[in-house]
Chain A
Amino acid sequence: MIEFRGISKRYAAGQLALYNVNLKIQAGEMIFITGNSGAGKSTLLKLIALLERPSKGELLVGGTPLNKLSRHQVPAYRRRIGFIFQDPHLLYDRTVFENVAIPLLISGMGLVEIRRRVNAALDKVGLMHKAGSYPLMLSAGERQRVGIARAVVNRPTIILADEPTGNLDPALAQDIMYTFAQFNELGTTVLIASHDHMLVERMKKRIIVLQKVEE
């Protein structure tokens, strides 16, 4: 499903974030990326979502080399991915419901179907009662969950989560991890970057440990 072939990433500023990464992830797999801060976890996820481009190497997703995608094809490709950002990037002038609905609006879904799907997604993350609230009225953890609901609402084939439980208390973090596991059960490929070793170990999935590149 996802294959890194000799991928290196050097940012324009000069930092080498990833060096010669070779990695194969099967379709339907759930996998954790761990490593210390600065090890390149976020970078690895961004490369998959085409939020960054590799400096070297080839990255294949679903058999397609990503550098073969034209700019025109990138939006459709991104819609197949649910990305959960470290900072959830919510729109502060929209309600929770409207925020979660954005991917569906982009897909051109009808209002009835949108309502149904958004409610289902909010239910999954336990935020049904906050549908009409604005993000500023929520705790950091709740905002993170809104970001998760928005990422999964369009039923993506790949879920990429960057420290999705960073702002959550342990019990809630565990819950969210099980939610991801449920999506994975349904066939979604899930990649989660996290530095919470305890939590990651408990999930009993394949774990990739990244080490910071020493130059």
Chain B
Amino acid sequence: MAGNKPSRKPASSSGSTRRPPRRRPQPHQRSFSGWINQHKHAIRFSLKRLWFNPVSTWITLAAIAIALSLPASLSLLLTNMQTLTDDKREVPTITAFMKENISEQQTKDRAELLQELSEIANVQVVTRDQALADFKNITGFAETLETLDENPLPHVLILTPNLERLGDDKVLQAFADRLKSYPEIDSVQIDVEWIQRLRAILRIADHVVLVVAVLLGLTVLLVIGNTIRLDIENRKEEITVTRLIGATNSYIRRPFIYGGLWLGLFGGTFSLIIVNIALLFLVSPVQQLASLYGSNFTLSGVNPLMSLQILAVSALLGIIGAWLAVGRFLWRDEVVD
């Protein structure tokens, strides 16, 4: 085996003067301004990169926006229903429906008697004619109702309980049962009843929304992670080359992490736009409906805090998704040419 020991030829001319290497300015790598510059470059480059393939970027953004707007609008719906039930908590009312054969006069008599009770703060009589008129207003089925020969509605008493005596749900229920035992009264309905039921449903719905939010958040994570992963695949060559000329792992990671951040942030912004547009369509019909019920309930929209929360969550999902996609480059060995 012959070694390939280098044969040395003396430098044949005195042209090569040997001087110590000049002190060069240290690369900016370690300085703070260098770090800021690197981030600036990464931000600029990753934003530019988004529009490199606009179609796929738009599709990704749409997927993220839709996935985020679903839990956002669901939780908005819940918030609104919760304010609706909060409203009613203060003034529960008891509605007593008279039997069909009870006359208007008999109803008014019963009302007067009830007014005497200390449990009752106020009694309001709604005659079957009034009820029919209201009903026509509310439903807009005026013509349909016109065709009925007879008014099918009973007289109704609307009782406002004295909360000092009937504050407790159980006591209220007992009082309602007592009302039911009067001969004129057919049935009694406490409107806190449906509110209680609604509250129970809302509590469950809260959990459902949470589960939906987690699942769709995971979807967003996967969508962003996959987009970034594809981007990395497309830029393998670039990663190899920049490594060869001294890029650190964090330098290589940075534009991808920013890419994920942008996808999350812009996707979140679009989801807010979607939710707000949907609200715009709902506001006036809801207000109309509410006013028919004499309620001044207004649909509450996405408040600034909630908007910020959505953006923060979507941005975070973007960063995590990109981080997961880029993670394996952290552990990879140095690239060898």
Q: Do A and B belong to a common assembly? A: yes
- Residues in chain A within 8 A of chain B (CB atoms): 1, 18-23, 26-30, 35, 39-40, 46, 50-52, 71, 74-81, 83, 85, 89-91, 102-103, 105-110, 150-151, 154-155, 157, 184, 186-189, 204-215
Nearest chain B residue, comparing its CB with the CB of A201: B12
B168 contacts A by Cβ under 8 Å: no
Residue of A nearest to B248 (CB): A75
Q: Which chain B residues lie closer than 8 Å to A77 at the CB level?
A: 246
List the 4 closest A-B pairs by CB distance, nearest first: A108-B34, A79-B246, A78-B246, A204-B13
Are A208 and B6 closer than 8 Å at their CB atoms?
yes
- Closest partner residue, chain A, to B336 (CB atom): A51
B14 to chain A, nearest CB (A): 9
Q: Is the CB of A79 within 8 A of B29?
A: yes
Complex CA–CA separation, A108 to B28 (angstroms):
6
Give chain B nearest CB distance to A211 CB in angstroms.
Answer: 4
Asked if B197 CB lies within 8 Å of chain A CBs, one says no
Total interface residues in chain B, CB < 8 Å:
48
Question: In the bound complex, what is the Cα–Cα distance between A87 and B247 (angstroms)?
Answer: 19
Docked-complex contact B19 and A51, CB < 8 angstroms: no
Whether the Cβ atoms of A29 and B28 lie closer than 8 Å is no
Is there an interface contact between A106 and B242, defined as CB atoms closer than 8 Å? Answer: yes
If A157-B21, A204-B15 touch, whether A83 touches B27 (CB-CB below 8 Å) is: no
Whether the Cβ atoms of A187 and B19 lie closer than 8 Å is yes
Q: B276 → chain A, closest Cβ, in Å? A: 38
Asked whether A75 lies within 8 Å of B246 as measured between CB atoms, the reply is yes
Would you call B285 an interface residue if the criterion is a C-beta within 8 Å of the partner chain's C-beta atoms? Answer: no
Residue B16 lies at the interface, judged by CB distance under 8 Å to chain A = yes
B90 within 8 A of A: no
Q: Is the CB of A51 within 8 A of B38?
A: no
A85 and B21 within 8 A (CB): no
Partner of A91, one of B4, B7, B237: B237
Q: Which residues of B contact A51 (CB under 8 A)?
A: 244, 336-337
- Assess the B20–A210 pair: CB atoms within 8 A: no
Chain B residues with Cβ under 8 A from A89's Cβ?
Answer: 240-241, 244
